[in-house]
Structure 1
């Protein structure tokens, strides 16, 4: 069995400092007001697998396994685990863990939480992708469960980081909309739920009975401020004490302000382009004059690779991202499992791109609309505009349409776009996450292609990926994942642009441990 699987990295952030410490610019040391970039779309922790939803849920709910700041697996509500045989995992649940209402966490709550995601109706992104491999769940005793898979499954620990444990008696019979009213919001996490105002804020109070390190804050307000300038203004005025995603144009000002502290880390999120790789005619592909085009050029690997060659990734890093991006041709950063060192960043080569277009039968190019969110990733719409300029220079007349992520995702998941920009964080800590979600042929039974908005499908890649997902030996599995990545990337399944660097800023006297997974946790801010 895998040695890596059982490594238990120590990643907990210790709480330091007296709660009564007076901090410059804070109204009260024991209260924290934190500005986040994106509001949650649902408070039900099992409804929609969306980053902004998960980030809020993790303040209130726990999972059996967790990730440390470097995306290594550590114990959560499961204090230990072992493989009983090649197909059966046994988990020991922490004794004495209390829900926010004072009742004790039991194995029955855990099994209920593992079953619930598959029952959710009308989810635009279901969490059951992380539970599909489990074919049998068994309670051994009050604190022990066994989970059985149909074949060896090395991703069990990774997948369980994404399933939040809810209280059975509090959530039975609830619809997802009920959670926004506070129903079912009883977890075991570091904070207790107080109130939720859609698109504005979530109010929390400290869970004094938390099983882990106690948060430094009596009360936390999660403010949702999508506009970067407004978010920074709130920090500068003292309206909030910490923010995520510092506006890149303001980085020098923030770094040099003696009243502020700045934190950053390369994230596991890849910013990429996807294509309509299935339809013979695509709705937003036209002639350069704007007339409908009978043939969809985006189905051609040569066209997709020409687009990749036309993008000036280093220019985006230097001039747009203020250095806070890392150009890539991979799906994860080098620190994550399955990274392929042989996939070098594609060189900016507009002349070579033109030659590829000509070989594909489009010497004069064509027209296309690039759709993008405008409030989700760092400089998302600006990145799209820059890419559009790059593509127009090689003959692909490109228009950009940006919109809020909520609108964008609701249409993207229905495959309405021809060409789009998106980001994906490998939340399970390895490259199998984007391979399964973004590039595998759509198959709901397998949990494949859940965010494959371009409907790309390469059966050869799927065969290698499926073999990797049932290979326990880490050395062999890493080779298989690297092979699957190379097949998909060389085929132009998606086009990686860069790994995003995530930033945070606080008022002086508050520190934060930056995370590869981009999570912004109120409980990981602390007085200095």
Structure 2
């Protein structure tokens, strides 16, 4: 017992040593269970990376505190024709190295986001051309009408053409190949905070941008971000005052943090949906005992997996009630979500066994399952529960739970047979999930995160129509139809929407957003 206590204390001490000793009142110390994998804003479409790098880099169109669209590096935008959007750029903006921001940087950034190694292709895959009208006006022409384009580009951050060329960072860091460049560890944006120091998986520090073009609603001079993977260590650091903000609070510790003299938990619904995906393309799975064929190509097997998962049990025992089971790939708060569609197939082990037998797999089979252990709330525990559920239908799961630093590169190159993933539509619209997660995979960005290569041409046809339809009633009817088809196909196995739980010092005021982003410009400390 003493040895365990000593080991835990040493773990806490090591984690907190990385936080540094800066105790100035205007330094805010933030911790998360994981780290951003890169400072390159085009290298990974993942919300923690967007959240961190979004304090340094900015898009043309940003978000207000209520997630509505807000002018950022563009002061205004309008459609000049059904397929052309014109953006007036903000004048007098400088990158952190003093270089002026102009239309050339916009053209460069969109080309970079569409290019080799980028994880942002699905955001720009319908672009026909981005053209410069003058130094502070650009036009984006799309292949078809695209009424939600300003929403879509709200996470495409602008980079300095001059800086990227000078630092051999013209192409994004490719997380699938493990290739790094200067943009992995350094940054030169226009945002309210500058990157001061980057130590991956140890500490990243940011300092206030004194020449920022806009208002910074924060008294912080510095932000220190530290990944602390161990739940108990992270909670202890908050309760002891060593950190000021942390995310996520483990569901089992919410009451404890709320009972702390100087701490509280900010909770709320999150827009992220957690789901399981299956390789439905290969003729033989990469990691399975089944040889010569792919059981996931059989809808009966996919449905058996679905009905063998006790989602209410996961909600009760793993999530401690802090989840909302779902039948859809989007949840409440996303345009196109319909409560009447959100009806899961019943949990029924006997029905699942019959489906497996009818498909010729009554004796079951083995398959590897890839899962992160530091990205979503209780992610590894969810996967363990799923594995235990599937054992009841004679499926042996070889669980490979690992840090997201190795997990994401693996699954993003589709080196997987069965995986867990979470997705927050960046546009807060169902089209984003349809285009990124459910569209047939092409080489331009459609289906970029459809890692199991589910494909139904009718869903693709509807997705393209949804993109260009301006009549809301017609559009929502098409979204419903697309989701109905995907649900009937058992294209993925949706699990739940997790709840937000941020641990916060009572000295700190901040804005909690439903997309789980944490803008430092809205964070202050007493």
TM-score normalised to the size of structure 1?
0.88
Question: Cα–Cα, structure 1 residues 274 and 181, in superposed 2: closer, same or farther, change >3 Å?
Answer: closer
Structure 2 counterpart of 1:229: 232
Between the aligned partners of 2:405 and 2:360, the Cα distance in structure 1 is 37
1:73-131, CA deviations, whole angstroms, 9 ceiling, x for partnerless residues? 33222222111111111112223333323444222222222222234x4x2x5223222
Is 2:339 the partner of 1:336? no
> 5+ residue gaps in structure 1?
1-24, 287-291
Cα deviation, residue 516, structure 1 = 1.4
Question: Cα–Cα, structure 1 residues 280 and 132, in superposed 2: closer, same or farther, change >3 Å?
Answer: closer
Two-structure CA RMSD over aligned residues (Å): 2.2
Structure 2 counterpart of 1:133: 126
Is 2:210 the partner of 1:208? yes
Helix, strand or coil for the counterpart of 1:455? coil
Match of 1:278 among 260, 281, 285: 281
1:114-193 alignment, distance < 5 Å: 114-119=110-115, 121=116, 123=117, 126-173=119-166, 174-175=168-169, 176=173, 177-182=181-186, 185-193=187-195
Is 2:425 the partner of 1:426? yes
Indicate conservation of the 8 Å contact 1:34/1:522, yes or no.
no
Indicate conservation of the 8 Å contact 1:69/1:516, yes or no.
no
Indicate conservation of the 8 Å contact 2:125/2:446, yes or no.
no
Between the aligned partners of 1:456 and 1:92, the Cα distance in structure 2 is 39
Cα deviation, residue 180, structure 1 = 4.1
Cα deviation, residue 280, structure 1 = 2.9
Structure 1 counterpart of 2:471: 473
Structure 1 counterpart of 2:508: 510
Structure 2 counterpart of 1:42: 38
**More displaced stretch, 166-175 vs 27-36:** 166-175
1:366-445 alignment, distance < 5 Å: 366-445=365-444
Match of 2:268 among 265, 287, 302: 265
Between the aligned partners of 1:404 and 1:431, the Cα distance in structure 2 is 29
Structure 2 counterpart of 1:455: 453
Indicate conservation of the 8 Å contact 1:330/1:340, yes or no.
no
Between the aligned partners of 1:99 and 1:294, the Cα distance in structure 2 is 55
Structure 2 counterpart of 1:80: 76
Which 4+ residue blocks in structure 1 deviate beyond 4 angstroms? none
Structure 1 counterpart of 2:480: 482
Cα deviation, residue 244, structure 1 = 1.0
Between the aligned partners of 1:476 and 1:210, the Cα distance in structure 2 is 43
Structure 2 counterpart of 1:6: none
Between the aligned partners of 1:251 and 1:232, the Cα distance in structure 2 is 10
Between the aligned partners of 1:415 and 1:250, the Cα distance in structure 2 is 35
Question: Cα–Cα, structure 1 residues 78 and 229, in superposed 2: closer, same or farther, change >3 Å?
Answer: same
Match of 2:86 among 70, 80, 90: 90
TM-score normalised to the size of structure 2?
0.88
> 5+ residue gaps in structure 2?
1-20, 174-180
Between the aligned partners of 2:491 and 2:401, the Cα distance in structure 1 is 22
Cα deviation, residue 294, structure 1 = 4.0
For this pair of structures, how many residues does the alignment match? 493
Between the aligned partners of 2:487 and 2:319, the Cα distance in structure 1 is 24
Helix, strand or coil for the counterpart of 1:497? strand
Structure 2 counterpart of 1:321: 319
Between the aligned partners of 2:129 and 2:421, the Cα distance in structure 1 is 35
Indicate conservation of the 8 Å contact 1:324/1:500, yes or no.
yes
